[in-house]
């Protein structure tokens, strides 16, 4: 797998994966949704496996608005603050829209004529559960100070430190190795 991959699904939580696709300011360098097709590709690849989502250009405006709310909501949770009233309202507004509708065809689950608005609803419901219950205590920022990726630590001991071993965990191992090596040399 080339690194970084086109889309990251490392957060263990749909709404946080959604938030890690770019954004305003510094996060613009990670933008993954330039066109409606990009968003449709993301929806197909994400844990919802929403194939053939209908996405209009205007949907990208909603996608970005929701993404900012998720990012800043997560930042508030990480600080131990309550998510702002504005963000709570926005998440609730998206979540009250109809959700994706599962249907069975030929023994397999599919989504019935999925739309971007339905994906936003699913993502917002996921975020409301994450930010609005004890699950929020499992939200983490990667320990690498220059990384900034977020994830939900679902491990039983709750001691996950890194977004991924590949991106940051291994860097840390290398740094520790080098430090150890440096000490050995200074002892010579």
* Residues at the contact surface with Zn ion, assessed by CB under 5 A: 142, 144, 147, 149, 163, 168
Nearer CB in complex with Zn ion: 43/149: 149
Minimum distance from residue 59 beta carbon to Zn ion (Å)? 29
- Residue 163 Cβ, how far from Zn ion at the closest point, in Å? 3
CA of residue 5 relative to chain centroid, distance: 14
Nearer to Zn ion, 8 or 90 (CB): 8
Cβ-based nearer residue to Zn ion, 125 or 140: 140
Other beta carbons within 10 Å of 120: 23
Provide, rounded to whole angstroms, the least separation between the CB of residue 41 and Zn ion.
23
- Name the nearest CA neighbour of 96 among 73, 128, 64: 128
Largest Cα span, the chain: 70
Q: Which stretches within the chain are classed as H helix?
A: 14-19, 36-45, 57-79, 85-95, 116-132, 170-187
Rounded Cα gap, residues 95 and 33, in angstroms: 21
Q: Which residues contact 108 (CB under 8 A, 6 or more apart)?
A: none
Nearer to Zn ion, 83 or 142 (CB): 142
Nearest CA to 66 out of 126, 141, 11 is that of: 126
Query: Least CB distance from residue 123 to Zn ion, whole Å?
Result: 22
- By beta-carbon proximity to Zn ion, the closer residue of 135 and 147 is 147
Least separation in angstroms between residue 173's CB and Zn ion is 13
């Amino acid at each position: 797998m080339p690194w970084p991959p086109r889309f990251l699904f490392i957060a263990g939580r749909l709404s946080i994966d959604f938030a890690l696709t770019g954004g305003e300011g510094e996060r613009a360098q990670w933008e993954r949704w330039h066109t409606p097709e990009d968003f449709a590709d993301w929806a197909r690849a994400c844990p919802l496996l929403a194939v053939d989502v209908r996405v209009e250009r205007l949907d990208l405006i909603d996608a970005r608005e929701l993404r900012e709310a998720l990012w800043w909501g997560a930042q508030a949770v990480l600080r131990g603050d309550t998510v702002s009233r504005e963000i709570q309202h926005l998440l609730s507004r998206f979540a009250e829209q109809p959700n994706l509708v599962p249907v069975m065809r030929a023994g397999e689950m599919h989504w019935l004529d999925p739309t971007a608005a339905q994906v936003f609803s699913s993502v917002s419901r996921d975020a409301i559960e994450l930010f609005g219950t004890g699950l929020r205590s499992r939200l983490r920022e990667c320990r690498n100070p220059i990384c900034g990726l977020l994830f939900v630590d679902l491990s039983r001991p709750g001691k996950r430190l890194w977004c991924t071993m590949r991106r940051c965990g291994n860097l840390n191992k290398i740094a520790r190795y080098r430090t150890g090596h440096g000490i050995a040399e200074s002892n010579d």
